[in-house]
Amino acid sequence: MPFVRKYIYIINFITLFLFKTIWNYFRNGNWALFDSFFYALLFVLFYAFATWAWDSKKYEKK
């Protein structure tokens, strides 16, 4: 589990990239690597922002 927590963003990126690339190949007949790359990158950036905002200690009562 520590390995997954340490590399969660990389694992998410690779998984989404491969899934989207393979999905585009079977659906449209092309690889669409550029589209898949940005789709995965935006998802991982949103996920990183959401986890940062959720774990933020700024508004925690003392």
Q: What is the pTM of this model?
A: 0.81
pLDDT-based confidence at 10, cuts 50/70/90?
Answer: very high
**CA pair distance 40, 36, nearest whole angstrom:** 6
The region of weakest confidence among 3-7, 50-54, 58-62 is 58-62
What is the full DSSP assignment across 20-52? HHHHHHHHHSS--HHHHHHHHHHHHHHHHHHHH
Rounded to 5°, the CA angle 19-1-58 comes to: 90
Tell which wins on pLDDT, 37 or 52.
37
